[in-house]
Structure 1
């Protein structure tokens, strides 16, 4: 922020030997004059303050007693003295230390000890207003730069995702074709071996993983930019839930992990974005499988909350999360363990995406966890998003 100076108001000083009548006449002639500095050899030695000075001389015997006396009799011999060019924040601190009187009655500016002028409430207010305006201008500029950077980031990610998706889809498609030929027991091409098929499977899995990462980054950038649009419709909650669980089952089987679905409510139609709801479950259940021990159970529990809201709980018996890490892992690209100590791969986008997706539906995400015991993640959708089966069937006719 630019340096803000208070411009001193130059007031012709008086000498210590000048009599009070001289100062009185000046105060009488100029009603806006709030103080007169007393200066000797260019250095301030005191300050005549209008209110106190005029009150004394306006008294019954004031003029008779003090009119012919030197101004040193009525001056403040220890006024606030500020070095010219001091930052406004420093001057504000001085004024707070000296109380309101220094603002109301004035203070003195010096430069290298030489008198420069006086400061008043007006000069202080003017400098603070300039500072506030400069700060507001800087904040506006910073906001515009941040918004421009955010737009540039979103455009970059959108363009890069397109550039990466096209060849990735081709790679995945061709590797799918090779694996499909293998599954159909088609005769192997000349020179083709089981090793080649394993390579094709690795290529296929790696391509799909990379595509998922790209999609997650793009979704997060859209959510950050407020450009993510929900495609809401009414769908069967149980049907879409079991579709997601079926997909993750392929990840759970090699570890001997059992996925269990438990429904405390039946025939529930949900008004939401079905694809986003499926992605929420995929992220949560795949996370639960990833961090669960072999042979354990992951439960997907659907129930009504205390307030009649719809709750979807994903409960695992995995490694758990430390309490101090729960808020940390809600942030994009963050994980509970340090970057170099991670035992599990991942981008750190799964949970932040779920959190953002749920909030986009007006819901909330709750996490309960205990190290070495397991984790329960609860997604809560407002009751207003649940649709009774009969009403949903009527709407679809």
Structure 2
């Protein structure tokens, strides 16, 4: 279909040419002068049309070569109006044909480069010299040899030279490698061919029929000129422009797709940024000209704000008091825009709600100017913790003061009691020697026992105070726990006997070494044994047994068959001041801090203590300590063990002061 359309175009083009030639031929049959005038007018008209085409398309073409060709041919076409083919005008016609031929050859040099009038003649000295020489020759001939014969000779020579010039021009066109000529070489050949025929018809023959052919050939020349010019100056440039436009349109379409893709990506990034900003655990607020421009969801949730529009465009002083606003703005004005501001605490308000927040701010810039980005972290919980820490610190100070008071008062009480107790012992020595009244000795014994009770209470208070204030430091040594427990148990035999209770000691192992403080073990055992004696029944039994509890533990059991402990009280017996009988009329004396101290002393030495009891059946206290590997150098020697035995008897007097 495309080939057929091109073929039709060619038929139409040649049909126009045929119609024009036939028309000229028929006109010549009626009046040759009219034909000559019509042909010349058509030629001039073609020249003017070419100039108009040149002027209207010169900016649209990259190469100006065909404009140069069209200009040369159009100028000489217009000049033809003033030149005839006889007489002096015939010489001008020949001269202009020379000029046209020379200029066409001159134009070949500017196929691939721009013609510059300033160096046009300096670069083409030979052709310019030839141009001037021909002008001189024809001028000389016209003045000195104005005869029919000389004109014929000049016409014949000129015809040969001009046709030779056209052949040289076409040869140079063929030899050039310029791409712009590839599609027009055949048309240029046809143009040169018919141009040469036209010139021959006008120059060598003076026959009417030949002149008619000359005019036909001249019009065919202009057909090919128009064919070349329309194709190379109008169609091809505008095709190139159209192709460029289409390419640019495709590029723009691709660019638009890329822009759409980038815009879509930017929109996704913006959405992702919004999601990211809303995922940040801190509130984000943007402030411009002291007005709130934007906030994230976290800030809205922080102050229970349902609509973001409530906050946006609001004055910043709506959420900060004037004093805090001045502090905030002074910090912002003094900070470096490249550095993130250090956190600062402010109290922010909104609709009656106040919250303590920590604010970090940064100054940023955009096309609208400076603005402030602030990250706001809710520190209400931190403030509550700080408040609680202050209260705790105050409470600890109060507790420390109380402990110090108890320690001081205990110390102040123990000193006079020790003096009284020592004086009683001295006095008893003198009274026994003098065989004093038994009632005096009896009351002295009562005073002694109560002194011991006070000493026991004061010692317990001091130890508890030291433990709670972290000033209690055990004196650890590797001890044979079996020997220690046995010696301590035997030291209370006199007290057990006074209660008519049978004391039984038994052990599975002869030696078990524990890293412990022997004084603390003594306090623990005497306290537990004193409870067994106090709450045991007359004629009952107390069993002290030592077992191996696994590979690395030793278990000490103190069991009695006394009154037992009610089940609802068993969970509280290790609490301070807890007693089975708290009434004023209770039969058994005690402060209620003994077992609490025992538990603390056991746990200090990495041990455990539990109680198993049944009302009216009895109670069993199980104390477990971890055993250790030892060497002979680490074990306490016999001399120290004998000291423990003597100390145990003295300590027993204090621990059993409630039993009388």
TM-score, L = length of structure 2? 0.40
Once residues 187 and 340 of structure 1 are traced to their aligned partners in structure 2, the CA distance between those partners, rounded to angstroms, is 40
Residue 295 of structure 1 aligns with which residue? Answer: 539
1:273 equivalent to 2:517? Answer yes
The one of 547, 553, 564 equivalent to 1:309 is 553
Once residues 510 and 473 of structure 2 are traced to their aligned partners in structure 1, the CA distance between those partners, rounded to angstroms, is 29
Once residues 390 and 30 of structure 1 are traced to their aligned partners in structure 2, the CA distance between those partners, rounded to angstroms, is 79
Q: Closer, same or farther in 2 for the Cα pair 1:31/1:135, shift >3 Å?
A: closer
Residue 37 of structure 1 aligns with which residue? Answer: none
Describe the superposition over 1:274-301 as per-residue Cα deviations: whole angstroms up to 9, x where unpaired: 0000110000011111111111011111
Once residues 286 and 388 of structure 1 are traced to their aligned partners in structure 2, the CA distance between those partners, rounded to angstroms, is 34
1:326 equivalent to 2:570? Answer yes
Give the 3-state SS of the residue equivalent to 1:299 in structure 2.
strand
Judging by fraction of residues, say which structure has more strand.
1
1:356 equivalent to 2:600? Answer yes
1:210 equivalent to 2:454? Answer yes
Q: Closer, same or farther in 2 for the Cα pair 1:313/1:132, shift >3 Å?
A: same
The one of 140, 147, 153 equivalent to 2:396 is 147
Q: Closer, same or farther in 2 for the Cα pair 1:241/1:211, shift >3 Å?
A: same
List gaps (5 residues or longer) in structure 1.
1-8, 10-28, 35-46, 51-82, 89-121
List gaps (5 residues or longer) in structure 2.
1-284, 286-291, 298-305, 310-349, 356-373, 640-660
Residue 479 of structure 2 aligns with which residue? Answer: 235
Give the conservation status (yes or no) of the 8 Å contact 2:485–2:525: yes
Once residues 493 and 602 of structure 2 are traced to their aligned partners in structure 1, the CA distance between those partners, rounded to angstroms, is 23
Give the 3-state SS of the residue equivalent to 1:327 in structure 2.
helix
Residue 392 of structure 1 aligns with which residue? Answer: 635
Give the conservation status (yes or no) of the 8 Å contact 2:477–2:634: no
Q: Closer, same or farther in 2 for the Cα pair 1:282/1:151, shift >3 Å?
A: same
Describe the superposition over 1:109-132 as per-residue Cα deviations: whole angstroms up to 9, x where unpaired: xxxxxxxxxxxxx99x86x52x31
Q: How does 1:1-397 map to 2 (within 5 A)?
A: 30-32=293-295, 84-85=351-352, 129=379, 131-182=380-431, 185-188=432-435, 192-340=436-584, 342-384=586-628, 387=630, 392=635
Give how far 1:223 is off.
Answer: 1.2
Q: Closer, same or farther in 2 for the Cα pair 1:216/1:33, shift >3 Å?
A: closer
Give the conservation status (yes or no) of the 8 Å contact 2:295–2:308: no
Alignment coverage as a number of residue pairs: 286
Structure (1 or 2) with the larger CA radius of gyration: 2
Give how far 1:187 is off.
Answer: 2.0
Larger RCO, structure (CA 8 Å, separation 6 or more):
1
Give the 3-state SS of the residue equivalent to 1:344 in structure 2.
coil
TM-score, L = length of structure 1? 0.64
Once residues 262 and 234 of structure 1 are traced to their aligned partners in structure 2, the CA distance between those partners, rounded to angstroms, is 22
What CA RMSD, in Å, does the superposition of the two structures yield over aligned residues? 3.3
Give the conservation status (yes or no) of the 8 Å contact 1:268–1:389: no
Judging by fraction of residues, say which structure has more helix.
2
Q: Closer, same or farther in 2 for the Cα pair 1:252/1:33, shift >3 Å?
A: closer
Q: Closer, same or farther in 2 for the Cα pair 1:240/1:179, shift >3 Å?
A: farther
